[in-house]
Structure 1
Amino acid sequence: MATISKKKSFSLKVLSRNPEDYRRETKLDIHKAPQNPETYLHPFTLGREYQRALNATKLERVFAKPFLCGLDGHRDTIQALAKFPTRLAHVLSAASDGEVRLWDLSTKKCVSSVAAHDGLVHSLCAHRSGQFFLSTGQDANIKFWSCSEEGRIGSEPVRTILNKNVYQGIDHHEKEDIFVTCGQSLDVWAGDRSQPYQSYKWGLDSMHYVKFNRIETHLIAVAADDRSVMLYDTRGGSGVQKLVMRMKTNSLCWNPMQAYMFTAACDDFNLYTYDIRNLRIASNKYEDHIGAVMDVDYAPTGKEFVTAGYDRCIRIFNVADGHSRDVYTTKRMQRVNHILWSMDNKYILSGSDEMNVRLWKARASEKLGVIKPREKTAFNTMETLKKTFKDHPEIKRIARHRHLPKLIYTQKKQIREQKDAQKKKESNRRFHSKPGTVPFVADRTKQVVDIKE
């Protein structure tokens, strides 16, 4: 019997790629791996991304080393810090012995120094041109000092203004040749005049801090010893508004991106951000310090600010949050009087009682120096993953953990218990009283005593 053989035909499918799309030009190049973005091919993507976010959060805490160096050289307490609006590397510092030093942040060394005043220096500010800086001291003098691009300070002041009263604060206009001083009164100076062309006084107490608005440059905010914050307009002959608070304001700073917002550092361990269009209630309240807040300064982006505390620590806040995102402290650091955020948004400088100016990173785990494109892409990816999974319990616990000194830890715990007890007492009083007899008062309005216009 004959057999019939049948031949079957087969079709073979081959993946064909252009070798130029994946071939390396040299051995040092990176292999190009083709990836398929279809979600059904990656069923465990969420789990892998969570694990990467967890690892990134752990590595962030491992590499969190914010302290860079101490700028030594002063022989007395740091009384003032100032930065140049037209320079990134140069910073000024002044001490109680009257010495002013100019530091170069790129080399972390003192470029030059000068004995500016007899006695302590109350305040410093840079001229709008960047070629001069102004200083006020206990000797009741206002002095202009030349400062070259290389950082050399003149041995003698360019100009000296003699006064009868001691000025506690000074600040220069952003665009015009105008500067303002505060003491027994608020004085506005222009050009080469030896007398102020405008003086303001609201109340009997003296003023200790003054700041120009960097956007609406005709607005001035002043902190006085009678627990008030006053707003002045240089185009008018009197004050605009006066905010009286329960505790004294030590320092204040305008938001560089929002002309109508400023933040006040107070003696009640808190900071308050106000909108000048409505001073009856604070826009936000910032807690966490266990001592008086001595100074505050905004980042150039306007999204963050840094504070100096009587409790010997530095805290960094996001504008939208009520609690600090980070806290910096060392064993040897004493009361921090002054704080500064550098113009390149990378560094923070602090001046404290033990005669040191310390340099910190604005982001504790940030890598300094040149970053390769691949590293930058990896860092951005990790930041996105951490933001995506920031509310997961494990990641949240690791991200917010900080090692604090025992004193700060225990005091912060006691303050929290006191606040909780006070809130419970108020709620019980409201519950056992007639409706409306004990009204609810928000924390952001309790510190406001009066508004005067």
Structure 2
Amino acid sequence: MKVKVLVRNPDDYLRETKQDIHKVPRNYDPSLHPLETPREYTRALNAVKLGRVFAKPFVGNLDGHRDAITCLGKHPQRLSWLYSGACDGELRLWDVSRQKLITTVQAHDGFLRDFSFSHESSTLYTIGDDKLIKQWKSDCPQGSDLKAPINTIVTNSMLTSVSHHRSKPYIATCGDAAHLWEHSRAQPLKTYQWGVDSLQHIRFNQIEENMLAACGSDRSIILYDIRESSPLRKVVLKMRSNSLCWNPMEAFIFTVANEDFNLYTFDIRNLNLPLTMHKDHVSAVIDVDYSPTGKEFVSAGYDKTIRIYEVDKTHSRDIYHTKRMQRLTCAAWSLDDRYIFTGSDEMNIRMWKARSGDKLGIVKPRERAALQVSSKLVDKFVHHPEVRRIHRHRQVPKHVYNARNEMRQSHTAAQRKDYNVRANTKRPKPVVPEAAKIVVTETI
């Protein structure tokens, strides 16, 4: 005899504790939920509105410098430590979690141009206008070892930037040329020159560790390999690049901040054409830094604004500004991917949230799940006109608004002129993409 028995698993409908939510069975058949899409659209619209209401990116500021900030540095092993250098040669160490100063030291006479950390020896290298490279101990609990450098190297010319190799005892500096140094030597191991008066920025690749890239005063970007005795490749742009940053997740990708108000992302395997041209700034871009995920980067502009870009997008996803913040000089993205630090002319270091609507403090599991669902709904309906309008809208300063309108009018006029020339020419020249006009020449 056959007996049919209904079998139910108690785990499907019983709560583990009295504080848990009652489990309700649900059938996901779309025919049973004809109003699911309108309901989700309403939730997405409410979520994007609330996101703009609670978007408060500013966290705090660190003041105390007596001159403009020139550079910022993140400690590779301590999330809460931030180093800053100023035009008067002062070096400061901050505890950003408490927004307090740990220690300060007069590192150089004149500008403190740049500094870089050594991963293998826990030291900090600084350079300044006094033609000195100084080595400082950076792993002391209270930063007291910053009172005096542990080593000093005298150079023949003024240096503008420094970068340390990820795993070997090498540092690279630039000024009148690119120099490769070793910790134990007072003279450079190698000197690279390629028809340029000066270099203003140099950076080691953190994945392909032997690769270097530098920005030159002749509008060039030069690639080096420290295993070779000469530079590898050089690409010349229409205007000069101020800063350069390698993608921490993709070995061949780097982004440069240019004087023509744009940023350009390049692939070193094909330098004839930038991968992406990032717009929206209305003045020269001074600095750029990648997030640790490699999916976004932050730029600091001379137009007194900070913009956050996705790597593959042309326009910025967010803009940060304040009334008292003046021209930006440097920017850094924290190693936990949650905060952004910027330095500016009016001697303040400001802290911002990497995502303006994030909540500071503890987020409970149910709240985190609700935020994740809202984020996915916004992504699903972001191309609907009303959701897109609210999602993209940002309040910008008046000078940025006016400059953006002027740039848009000039760009439209140039396009109209190009169209008229083509329409009235018997043999028009081939159409050149806007990104291809950036690169003037490439030399191997």
TM-score, scaled to structure 2: 0.95
More displaced 10-residue stretch of structure 1: 328-337 or 196-205 = 196-205
Match of 1:250 in 2: 242
1:145 aligns with 2:122: no
Q: Aligned pair in 2 of structure 1 residues 79, 315: CA closer, same or farther (>3 Å)?
A: same
Match of 2:254 in 1: 262
Once the two structures are TM-superposed, the CA of residue 105 in structure 1 deviates from its matched residue by 2.2
For 1:300-319, what aligned pairs fall within 5 Å after superposition?
A: 300-319=292-311
1:429 aligns with 2:400: no
Residue 75 (structure 1) aligned to one of 66, 73, 81: 66
Structure 1: distance between partners of 2:10 and 2:216: 74
Once the two structures are TM-superposed, the CA of residue 417 in structure 1 deviates from its matched residue by 1.1
Structure 1: distance between partners of 2:16 and 2:383: 44
Match of 1:4 in 2: none
Structure 2: distance between partners of 1:375 and 1:61: 18
Structure 2: distance between partners of 1:124 and 1:64: 33
For 1:336-351, what aligned pairs fall within 5 Å after superposition?
A: 336-351=328-343
1:175 aligns with 2:167: yes
For 1:42-53, what aligned pairs fall within 5 Å after superposition?
A: 42-53=33-44
Aligned AA for 1:90? W
Match of 2:443 in 1: 452
Once the two structures are TM-superposed, the CA of residue 259 in structure 1 deviates from its matched residue by 1.0
Aligned AA for 2:115? L
Aligned AA for 1:89? S
Once the two structures are TM-superposed, the CA of residue 427 in structure 1 deviates from its matched residue by 1.2
Structure with larger Rg: 1
Aligned AA for 1:57? V
Q: Aligned pair in 2 of structure 1 residues 450, 17: CA closer, same or farther (>3 Å)?
A: closer
For 1:358-369, what aligned pairs fall within 5 Å after superposition?
A: 358-369=350-361
Deviations, residues 207-229 of structure 1 (Å, cap 9, x unaligned) = 11000011111110001111111
Match of 1:8 in 2: none
For these two proteins, the number of residue pairs brought into alignment is 438
Structure 1: distance between partners of 2:191 and 2:8: 79
Secondary structure of the equivalent of 2:317?
strand
Aligned AA for 1:262? F
Match of 1:321 in 2: 313
Match of 2:224 in 1: 232
Gapped regions of structure 1 (runs ≥ 5) = 1-14
Once the two structures are TM-superposed, the CA of residue 16 in structure 1 deviates from its matched residue by 10
Structure 2: distance between partners of 1:275 and 1:24: 54
Q: Aligned pair in 2 of structure 1 residues 20, 320: CA closer, same or farther (>3 Å)?
A: closer
Say what the alpha-carbon RMSD is for the aligned residues: 1.6
Does the 8 Å CA contact 1:85/1:130 hold for their aligned counterparts?
no
1:442 aligns with 2:433: yes
Match of 1:276 in 2: 268
Deviations, residues 351-394 of structure 1 (Å, cap 9, x unaligned) = 00000010000000011222222122111111111111010000
Structure 1: distance between partners of 2:413 and 2:285: 24
Structure 2: distance between partners of 1:234 and 1:209: 17
More displaced 10-residue stretch of structure 1: 376-385 or 80-89 = 80-89
For 1:409-420, what aligned pairs fall within 5 Å after superposition?
A: 409-420=401-412
Deviations, residues 203-250 of structure 1 (Å, cap 9, x unaligned) = 141111000011111110001111111001101110101111110100
Residue 88 (structure 1) aligned to one of 66, 79, 94: 79
1:333 aligns with 2:316: no
Residue 347 (structure 2) aligned to one of 355, 362, 368: 355
Does the 8 Å CA contact 2:175/2:199 hold for their aligned counterparts?
yes
1:118 aligns with 2:119: no
Aligned AA for 1:333? M
1:55 aligns with 2:46: yes
Once the two structures are TM-superposed, the CA of residue 277 in structure 1 deviates from its matched residue by 1.2
Once the two structures are TM-superposed, the CA of residue 325 in structure 1 deviates from its matched residue by 0.3
Which stretches of structure 1, 4 residues or more, deviate above 6 A after TM superposition? 15-20
Once the two structures are TM-superposed, the CA of residue 129 in structure 1 deviates from its matched residue by 3.2
Structure 1: distance between partners of 2:28 and 2:314: 40
Structure 1: distance between partners of 2:337 and 2:121: 19
Secondary structure of the equivalent of 1:282?
coil
TM-score, scaled to structure 1: 0.93
Residue 202 (structure 2) aligned to one of 205, 210, 213: 210
Structure 2: distance between partners of 1:298 and 1:140: 29
